[in-house]
Amino acid sequence: MTETREKPAPAGAAIDTVDAVIVGAGFAGMYMLHKLRQLGFTAVVYDAAAGVGGTWYWNRYPGARCDVESINYSYSFDPDLEQEWEWSERYATQPEILRYANHVADRYDLRRDIRFSTRVTAASFDESAQRWSITTDQGDDVSAQYLVMAVGCLSTSKMPEIPGIDVFRGKWYHTGHWPHEGVDFTGQRLGVIGTGSSAIQSIPIFAQQAAHLTVFQRTPNFSLPAKNAPLDPDEFTALKARYPEHRHEARTSAFGVPNPLPEKSALEVSDAEREATYEAGFEKGSLVGMLLSYNDLITDKAANDTAAEYVRQRIRSIVEDPEVAEALAPTDHPIGTKRPCLDTDYYATYNRPNVTLVNLRKTPLVEVTETGVRTSEREYEFDSIVFATGFDAMTGSLVAFDIKGRDGVMLKEKWAAGPRTYLGVATAQFPNMFMITGPGSPSVLSNMMISIEQHVDWIADAMTYMREHGKQVIDPTLESEDEWTEHVTEVGNTTLYPTANSWYMGSNVAGKPRVFLPYIGGVGPYREICDQVAEKAYDGFDLT
Ligand code: N01
């Protein structure tokens, strides 16, 4: 017997046996559930949130929006869904994206198989039954043939490693867990720690509310103007007419959005030509557009320097105080090697009289106090503090609860020196466990929607193959895992990414091994590799 065909339980009812347990009800988990249902598999989804949407459920800070264009950041699996949904802006806001996630949940009646407000607490592979046992904090104890981790790449938030947060008498917030009712900082003295994407999006709005805003910056980040605007309905209609081609271009591209690959090096053109190219890229409001201005921006430091300097000049031209401008202009990492941002009025915000930038490179943070924050230089008093300090990216949520594979091996122990995966979708000794956009796959270096759909389809195909071929267990070989893990590192080392201290490298989390986590071989080539593995009867996996 290779499959179970139980009927899905009615909403809220206890379930004890399914084909698949899916952890996470974000875009990955939602599509996985839909796909498995279509194929006649039974599945249940668990999510700690009270609703669907994953990252878009939690990250409700003011200004949160996607920096992949709306026309690309949506599902492509159903042409009817594609045609009926209308995006209002070039870059959709968090509320609009969450509405979309809820629309999808309603449209495909997904909620009846999702257990909300339920956190998975442990999963272990039972060798005798050849199945996973999964427990939750709500008392569920489920047996599943497959465990699908749809936990998201940026979902385990991270606080700064400074003492005193518990003694602060004002209010504090993390951008990744924003209160649903919103927060109004009007009239307040507000401190923000961090200058990554979440901070860069929210700071201009905080500055409009707060009596005074103090931003604590450790590393300046490159940011380009988003040039956000309402979507032109005629243009969107025209795109809808060619959505299949558009999606095909995205699936075969480098980063999961249609963009021609550049042929020229930044170093082979005249200064004037290069300047004009960067200006066009900068004015376009597209990260991929800017980073794909030339073919060597992420591989050659001298080429990268030309783009980085262009952006630094633009920062200097916006920020009036030269000392503040210098502090905001990143010089410690090549552009693109820490996740760059798209913003609306970020740099101009530092021209406001009610905004102060504190350069933590000169005066490091010492502690949070009862009344604010103390640096090596002085104390700052606040009514509220916002921690925009990011996430334990890519692996944090995969090791957040105990996952025990064959011979009692724990995933967090196996990955103590860094994640080891085959194709970023599976890891040896954890049979029948799949990861959607796991480490070692393009994931965060791509349009997540494209990568999610690719993994879900691939996993569903693998499960169907297993069912059709009377197989019970699929497990990558150690050899294929070693080869892939080495390949991910090798390709990463051909780029400038490893030269930066970034969450791509795990270096934002104390004690985390320094390993390049995503796969930079390109979305299109990666898809081909995965397809070839499937075509060769899941080459590199043991199927029993
Ligand atoms: O987090 P981050 P984020 N003392 O890790 C600082 C995606 N995203 O939530 O760089 C002082 O980027 C830290 O400083 P440093 C996107 O992929 C997408 O902003 O480590 N500072 C950094 O400045 C993004 O990259 C969207 O020196 C400390 C900041 O906190 C990812 O999520 C929107 C510190 C953390 O920045 C994460 O973004 C938002 C300390 N002890 C997010 N610890 C869009 O689609 C940390 N910091 C637009």
**DSSP secondary structure string for all residues of 229-282:** -BPPHHHHHHHHHTHHHHHHHHHTSSSSS--PPP-S-TTSS-HHHHHHHHHHHH
Length of the chain (residues): 544
Residue 503 Cα to ligand 1 midpoint, Å, equals 8
At 301, which amino acid appears?
K
CA of 198 to the centre of ligand 1 (A): 6
Atom number, ligand 1, closest to the C-alpha of residue 342: 48
157's tokens: 């938030």
Q: Which residue has 């290069």 as its token pair?
A: 274
The predicted pLDDT at position 13 comes to 56
Instruction: Tell the residue nearest (CA) to atom 41 of ligand 1.
Output: 160
Residue 387 CA to ligand 1 center (angstroms) comes to: 10
Beta bridge partners of 410: 404
Query: What is residue 15's predicted lDDT score, i.e. its pLDDT?
Result: 72
- Specify the residue with its C-alpha closest to ligand 1, atom 17: 339
Letter string b/e over residues 413-445, b meaning 16 or more CB atoms within 10 A of that residue's CB: ebbeebbbbbbbbbbbbbbbbbbbbbbbbbbbb
Q: Which residues contact ligand 1 via a Cβ below 6 A?
A: 66-67, 154, 160-162, 175, 193-199, 201, 218-219, 339, 360, 365, 388-391, 444, 503, 508
User: Residue 200 Cα, ligand 1 centroid: separation in angstroms?
Assistant: 9
| Ligand 1 center to 496 CA (angstroms) | 19
Segments in 4-78 forming alpha helices (H): 27-38, 55-58
**In this predicted structure, what is the pLDDT of residue 269?**
98
pLDDT of residue 4: 29
State the pLDDT at residue 12: 53
What's the one-letter identity of residue 200? I
What tens digit of pLDDT does each residue of 19-64 get? 999 999 999 999 999 999 999 999 999 999 999 999 999 999 999 9
Whole-angstrom CA distances from 295 to 98, 119, 130, 298, 494 are 35, 44, 48, 8, 13
Residues 6+ apart with CB under 8 A from 49: 25, 57, 58, 116, 117
Mutate to test the pocket of ligand 1, among 389, 394, 443 (most ligand atoms within 8 A of CB): 389
User: What does DSSP assign to residue 518?
Assistant: S
- pTM score: 0.96
Q: Tens digit of pLDDT for each residue in 88-112?
A: 999 999 999 999 999 999 999 999 9
Regions of the chain with pLDDT less than 50: 1-11
Atom 9 (ligand 1) nearest CA? 390
Residue 115 to residue 421: CA distance in whole angstroms: 28
pLDDT at 9: 41
Distance, CA 160 to ligand 1 centroid (Å)? 11
**Would residue 172 be called left, alpha or beta, if left means φ above 0 and alpha means ψ between -120 and 50 degrees?**
beta
Q: Please state the atom number of ligand 1 nearest to the C-alpha of residue 199.
A: 19
Closest listed residue to residue 31, CA positions, set 108, 112, 118, 140? 108
Side-chain half-sphere of 326: how many Cα atoms within 13 Å?
Answer: 5
Pairwise CA distance, residues 33 & 37, whole Å: 6
Residue type (1 letter), 347: Y
Q: What atom in ligand 1 is closest to the CA of residue 160? A: 41
From ligand 1's centre to the CA of 390, what distance in Å?
Answer: 4
